[in-house]
Chains A and B, each alone.
Chain A
Amino acid sequence: MSKKTEHRRMRNTNTFLLTYTALVFSTLIVLGLLGVDRIDVYVALFIIEFFVISELTSPLGPAESRRKTIIGILMLAIFTGIIVERIAEILR
């Protein structure tokens, strides 16, 4: 990887927020055009994107990382809820 490419990959909160926003709204448009009408699909994808972007833009500073971990735990809880609900739906 060239030094120029390395520099462009700015690892900070702003990059994280901008990339995440772009990805979330792209997902919204794509799923909207596909006619998906289950809110859990949207939310699950938002959560997966959060973890993907988190990894791609890490490491952040200590304070930012700590706060992002808290958001990550909440996201994971919601994601687990969606999965459990889906499994229950299949088993019924």
Chain B
Amino acid sequence: MQERCWICGSDILPEDNFCRKCGVELISAEKEHRADRRLTEANRQAPVGIFLITVGAIVGLLSYFMAIVPMLAFGLASFLIGIMVLYLPESRGSIAGRLATDSSLPSLLNIEKLLEDLDLDERGIYIPASGLGVCPKVFVPLAQTPATERPPLGLGGSRRIFVTVGKNPEDRGILLDAPGGQILFALENSLRADLAKVELGNLGTDLNSAFESLGIAKVTTLEHQDTTITIEMKLTALLELEERLRNLAPRLVAQVGTPIASALAAAVSKATGKYVKFKNAVLQVPEKKLTINLKLSE
């Protein structure tokens, strides 16, 4: 991994994704690992292809000399499939998935830039909402004050970005549409139910079935302990977006959440009718497992 920026030569820290001086994107360990993974994926198919070609060639030749046509056909089939396994590269996600990632990334990076420029370090608060297809908004406060802890519920209908929720100058923040708003909408459509009317006890089961039917994740589990909710899920799509956002938009990931994490936070906020503060979302890439921790407040 590089220790100096490859453009301006200034020193960089191991955790940096971008140069602090010139702003250029750095070659991170994650990217190097990704290249290694691609190589591993290609190598994984090679033994299967070679095995099929060898079996096909041996069986084909022997049965040709022995004039056994079905066995000759078996050898040919095996040989043909072996060549295809070697020649066709393993897919890395569907075109639709890649397009979804590529088209949603710029808008998410804009939120990241907004958080960075305004120097907002506080976690986003999901304001409860109700109604089919209505998504809770996220309020990211400038500072933690009694007023910003519980922003008014009426903010959900506001079309402004910069809002003031109290009398003091620090009772301000930005109001964002949740990045997972459209996923939440799709979840509710899939369930044909307003999540605000769903009991918290049934939320885990409903989310599991909705995420599975949308093809985003399977085995979604929800654990509720006092004011903390932990959700675990195994992703079947959008893994690349989750990975790229962790690299490119660390503030967004930590404070507001990625689209999936945001959809979950919004769903919990709707179902409980409480403010939900985003705590963290940990992605384990090899297991495709996403663990999200949320904090509820009245």
Contact = CB atoms under 8 A, between A and B. Distances in A.
Interface of A: 2-4, 6-7, 10-14, 16-17, 20-21, 24-25, 28, 31-32, 36-39, 42-43, 46, 59-61, 63-64, 67-68, 71
A42 B85 contact: no
Contacts of A31: 70, 73
Where chain A touches its partner, the secondary structure class is helix
B190 A3 contact: yes
Indicate the size class of the contact surface on chain B.
20 to 34
A61 to B, nearest CB: 6
Nearest to B210: A3
Contact of B76 (A6, A21, A42, A68): A42
Given A17-B81, A17-B85, A20-B84, A3 B215 contact: yes
8 contacts: A3-B213, A7-B214, A11-B95, A14-B90, A24-B80, A32-B70, A32-B73, A37-B69
B72 interface: yes
Nearest to A38: B69
Contact of B81 (A6, A21, A61): A21
User: Closest 6 CB pairs between A and B?
Assistant: A7-B215, A12-B91, A42-B73, A32-B70, A37-B69, A13-B91
Contacts of B72: 39
B69 A28 contact: no
B69 A20 contact: no
B88 A46 contact: no
B266 to A, nearest CB: 20
Contact of B77 (A2, A17, A28): A28
Interface string B188-219: 00100000000000000000000011110000
B81 A20 contact: yes
A61 B80 contact: no
A6 to B, nearest CB: 8
A61 B73 contact: no
B18 interface: no
Contacts of B215: 3-4, 6-7
B154 interface: no
Contact of A46 (B80, B83, B85): B80
Contacts of B70: 28, 31-32, 36-37, 42
Given A4-B215, A32-B70, A59-B95, A67 B77 contact: no
Interface in B46-105: 69-70, 72-74, 76-77, 80-81, 83-85, 87-95, 98
B214 A3 contact: yes
B233 to A, nearest CB: 15
B89 A43 contact: no
A25 B70 CA distance: 11
B76 A43 contact: yes
Contact of A25 (B69, B77, B83, B190): B77
A61 B95 contact: yes
B53 to A, nearest CB: 14
B66 to A, nearest CB: 13
Given A3-B214, A20-B81, A68 B73 contact: no
Contacts of A20: 81, 84
A10 B97 CA distance: 11
Nearest to B189: A3
Contacts of A43: 73, 76
Interface in B216-251: none
B69 to A, nearest CB: 4
